[in-house]
Structure 1
Amino acid sequence: MPFAPRALLVSLLLPLLAGCASLYFPPPPQVPLLTQKGEWSAGLHTNLSQNTAVQGAYAVSDHLGVMGSASFLHTNKTKKAEDHDFGELGVGYFTRLSDHRVLEVYGGFGLGQTKRVERTPAEGVTRTLEAGLNKYFVQVNYTSKDKKTYHVLGRDWPVSYGTALRASYVTLTDFRLNGQPAFNEDNIFLEPITYTRITLLGPIDAQFISGSNFGLKHRKFLKAANSVFQFGLVVNVGGQSGGK
C-alpha cells in the first residue's frame, strides 16, 4: 500500500483507539512552515470528538515567527457533558535547509478552562470536575516544501508530508471535584505527529494530522487519553515555493 493511503488509514483509525477520560484535550500542533519575512499561515481543524482549533502564524523577520491558536470543545451527551476552551501563544525560529526542507523550533504557553459533568439516566449527575489549565510547550517541525503529485479522479493532487514533536508541561489550577477543592495534578506530554497536506486550490491545502500522546506521569484526571488526530484546512501566503 502506498505511503499516503496507509498514513490516511491510520489517521482515520486513531480516534477509535483513544479514550476520553482526561481533562486535557490537546490542540493540534501548529506547523506553519514559514520561510521568509511577511509570510503568514492560517488553519482550521477539528476531529470526531468535536475538538476544534483555529490557528494563525506570521513571519516577523526572515527567521523569527509568532503563532497563536484557540481551541474549544463543547458537547452535551447522555452520559457526559464537556466544556473545554484553550488558547496558546508561541514564538520561535525557522530556517530553510539545503535539501528544500523547513526546520522550525517554537516555544510558548497556553491558558484555558475545562469542565466535565458525568451522569447516568437513573442517578442524574454523578460527578462534576472543573479546573483551569496552564501549559508551557516546546515544538520542533521538520518537513519538505516540495510536493509529489498523484493523478486521481481525473486531476493532479500535489501532496506533501511532514513531522512534528511537541513536549508540553500542563498543570491544573483551582481544580474542584464535585465543588470541593482537589489536588492540582500536573503532567508532561509528548506528542509526536505526522501530517499529510493535499493541495485543493491555490494556497489552500487539506491537512490530516495523526500521532500519539504520551503522559510521562501517572495521573487520574490529567493524562494522555485524548486523540491528537485532526483534519482541516491550511492556507500559506507569501512564502517560498518548494524548490527555492
Structure 2
Amino acid sequence: MKLVVVSAGLSVPSSTRLLADRLAAATAGRVPGAVDLRVVELRDLAVEIAHNFTNGFPGRGLSAAIDDVTSADGLIVVTPVFSASYSGLFKSFFDVLDKDALAGKPVLIGATGGTGRHSLVLEHAMRPLFAYLRAVVVPTGVYAASEDWGVEGLAERVERAGGELAGLMTALTGSPVPGPTGPLASAQAAPASTAVTAQPSPGAAAVPAQPSPGRADGFQVVPFAEQLAALRS
C-alpha cells in the first residue's frame, strides 16, 4: 500500500516534519504487508506552486508530488500554525489539486505550534478543508505544541491516529475484515428468498414484506468499506 506524507514545515530541522515522521511510523506499523512511503516537502515546491497559479502548469517536482498524493492509499498532512490557521503554503498546495483528487481518500491531519492555545486549528480549519475536498478524515487529529514534545500524551495520540488511518487503508484495499457475530450474523446469512410476513392489524390481511439481499428483516447492510469505495469512484 502507498502512504504519502505532506509536510508544510519551513525550518530545518522542522517540528512539523518530526510529527509527520512519527505519524507515518505509527501508521506503517499497523498496515499489513509492505508500505510504499513517500514524503512531500512543500518547502521545496514553493516556487513551483506559485508558478502553477500564474501559468496553470505544474513543474516537474510539483507534478510528481501531485501524482503521489492522488495515487495514495492513505494521506498524512501536517502543517505549522500561522495566524491561527494552516500555513499559506499548505493551503496553496491543496488549491492546485483537482477538486475530486481526494474524494474518498483516508486522511490523517496534524499540526504544530508554539502554544497549546492553537490546538483547535485541527477542527476549525483543517477538518473543514478536507471535508470540502470529500476526503475521509480519521477521528483523531494530532496537534503538538512546543511543550508537548517528550511529555505524556503525545505518543498515545500519535499511535491512536496511526491505527485509525491504517484501519481505513486496509478496509479500502479489500483486505479481509472480521464479520459480525451473534444474531446479526445469522440475519445476514439468511437466504435472499426468505420473506417476512408483517403482523396484520385487526381485520386486515397479512402482506408479505419484500426482503433485501442478505437480510431477512427487510433491511440492507452496506459495509463501511464498500461505502468508502463507492465514494472514491
Question: Taking structure 2 as the reference length, what is the TM-score of the superposition?
Answer: 0.30
Of Structure 1 and Structure 2, the greater strand share is in 1
Bigger CA radius of gyration: 2
